[in-house]
């Protein structure tokens, strides 16, 4: 398949790994500690484990798995809000499939559906709008979730609903923004990061300019990266090269998809429908200023948060859940006390075990559970679970 197969070439991967090894061996900081590179995006985390890239890298490189999976960072209170909307008799609640199993404090959307709520999986917000057209006597709510990657499609659907005069459609907006999140990570005293793999899909919409502060003020390199194995390896090499050269720049490895200026039509739709929230609560990371968007007053009739009374209660994660530490890269997924024991993809305790882009699910799915829990005192329990 064009643009896919050539980026999965085994021989080229071997050459890149050799070059990464050579370069890492010449970097001064690697003599005293690992070079910490964060992949911000959950899509990269998934690729890294799917293709076994982490195990091919030299010990001098530590990949830190960032918070770029929107399903994973959704706090429990917001899931409870979804369930409360979905359980209203007049509502058809629509969502992407990966949000169905995110645990709330009492139940997930999937459990709400089992209990009788009309929750339906859709592939796009436009599918939800079609449902609204077909069910004029019901209220159709779309669960708007994701970074700038998915924001334009919900914004365009709201604009379409306005054009078509559809009043029984609304969005429960949980869209989040990437730049304040990266800034919060850089300001975190827990972390020392030497560089970033930048998110490919988000950058397709926002371009590369919004990341300039990372290079200018924090003096860290970032390489916007594609998702195939050669993309990820080449991007790691590019980050190392910048570190070696003493440079901090924003580079674009994913130029075949990411225009440096972003997508103006998508950004215009987003700017028309949404405005920044003062703050937004993230699972495990707490409240981050200006890290989410809400529906503008002009489109209030399409805002599920205003249309329905929601509990809006902040709920703490279960005590044994260490999603926050994993999200901040402080611990590896397998170091969480309940990884592979009380928390598995079948019965997720934390959100990082739900989505395929979640670091815990990726570790679990691609063999990390056996390799890592074997070394723990509770290994027999893990193996039995």
The residues of the shown chain that bind ligand SF4, judged by CB under 6 A, are 321-323, 326, 333, 336, 338-339, 343, 349-350, 352-353, 360
**Are 233 and 39 contacting, i.e. CB atoms less than 8 angstroms apart?**
no
State which residue, 100 or 269, has the beta carbon closest to ligand SF4. 100
State in angstroms the smallest separation of the CB of 353 from ligand SF4.
4
The C-alpha atoms of residue 295 and residue 277 are separated, in whole angstroms, by: 9
State which residue, 269 or 360, has the beta carbon closest to ligand SF4. 360
State in angstroms the smallest separation of the CB of 336 from ligand SF4.
3
**Are 156 and 144 contacting, i.e. CB atoms less than 8 angstroms apart?**
no
State which residue, 216 or 347, has the beta carbon closest to ligand SF4. 347
* Phi, psi angle pair for 141, to nearest 5°: -115, 130
State in angstroms the smallest separation of the CB of 318 from ligand SF4.
7
State which residue, 230 or 338, has the beta carbon closest to ligand SF4. 338
State in angstroms the smallest separation of the CB of 369 from ligand SF4.
10
| Residue nearest to ligand SF4 according to CB distances in the complex | 350
The C-alpha atoms of residue 179 and residue 290 are separated, in whole angstroms, by: 9
Bridge partners of 64, per DSSP, are: 38
Q: Are strands 286-289 and 279-282 parallel, antiparallel or unpaired?
A: antiparallel
198 three-class SS: strand
* Phi, psi angle pair for 221, to nearest 5°: -80, 145
State which residue, 294 or 332, has the beta carbon closest to ligand SF4. 332
The closest alpha carbon to 87, from 61, 109, 57, belongs to 109
Which DSSP category does 169 fall into?
A: E
The C-alpha atoms of residue 304 and residue 78 are separated, in whole angstroms, by: 13
State in angstroms the smallest separation of the CB of 341 from ligand SF4.
9
Bridge partners of 144, per DSSP, are: 173
State in angstroms the smallest separation of the CB of 377 from ligand SF4.
16
State which residue, 130 or 356, has the beta carbon closest to ligand SF4. 356
Kindly state the greatest CA–CA separation across the chain: 67
State which residue, 277 or 283, has the beta carbon closest to ligand SF4. 283
State in angstroms the smallest separation of the CB of 227 from ligand SF4.
22
């Amino acid at each position: 398949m064009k643009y896919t197969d050539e980026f999965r070439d085994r021989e080229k991967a071997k050459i890149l790994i050799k070059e990464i090894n050579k370069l890492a061996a010449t970097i001064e900081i690697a003599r005293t500690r690992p070079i910490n590179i964060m992949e911000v995006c959950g899509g990269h985390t998934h690729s890294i484990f799917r293709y076994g890239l982490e195990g091919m890298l030299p010990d001098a490189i530590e990949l830190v798995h960032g918070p770029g999976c929107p399903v994973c960072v959704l706090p429990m209170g917001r899931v409870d809000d979804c369930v409360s909307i979905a359980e209203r008799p007049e509502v058809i609640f629509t969502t992407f499939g990966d949000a169905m199993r995110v645990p709330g404090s009492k139940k997930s959307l999937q459990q709400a559906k089992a209990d009788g709520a009309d929750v339906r999986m859709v592939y796009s917000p436009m599918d939800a709008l079609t449902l609204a057209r077909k069910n004029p006597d019901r209220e159709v709510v779309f669960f708007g979730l994701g970074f700038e990657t998915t924001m334009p499609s919900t914004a365009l659907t709201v604009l379409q609903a306005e054009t078509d005069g559809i009043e029984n459609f609304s969005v429960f907006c949980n869209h989040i923004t990437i730049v304040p999140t990266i800034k919060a990570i850089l300001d975190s005293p827990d972390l020392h990061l030497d560089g970033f793999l930048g998110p490919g899909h988000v950058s397709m919409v926002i371009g590369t300019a919004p990341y300039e502060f990372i290079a200018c003020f924090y003096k860290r390199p970032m390489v916007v990266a594609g998702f195939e194995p050669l993309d990820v390896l080449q991007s790691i090499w590019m980050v190392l090269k910048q570190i070696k050269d003493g440079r901090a720049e924003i580079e674009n490895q994913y130029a075949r998809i990411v225009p440096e200026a972003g997508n103006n039509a998508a950004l215009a739709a987003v700017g028309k429908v949404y405005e920044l929230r003062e703050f937004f609560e993230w699972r495990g990371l707490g409240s981050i200023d200006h890290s989410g968007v809400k529906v503008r007053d002009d489109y209030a009739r399409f805002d599920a948060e205003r249309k329905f009374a929601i509990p809006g209660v902040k709920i703490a994660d279960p005590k044994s859940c260490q999603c926050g530490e994993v999200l901040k890269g402080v611990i590896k997924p397998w170091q969480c006390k309940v990884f592979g024991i009380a928390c598995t993809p079948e019965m997720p305790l934390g959100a990082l075990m739900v989505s395929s882009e979640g670091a815990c699910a990726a570790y679990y799915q691609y063999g990390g559970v056996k390799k890592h829990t074997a070394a723990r005192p509770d290994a027999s329990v893990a193996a039995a679970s």
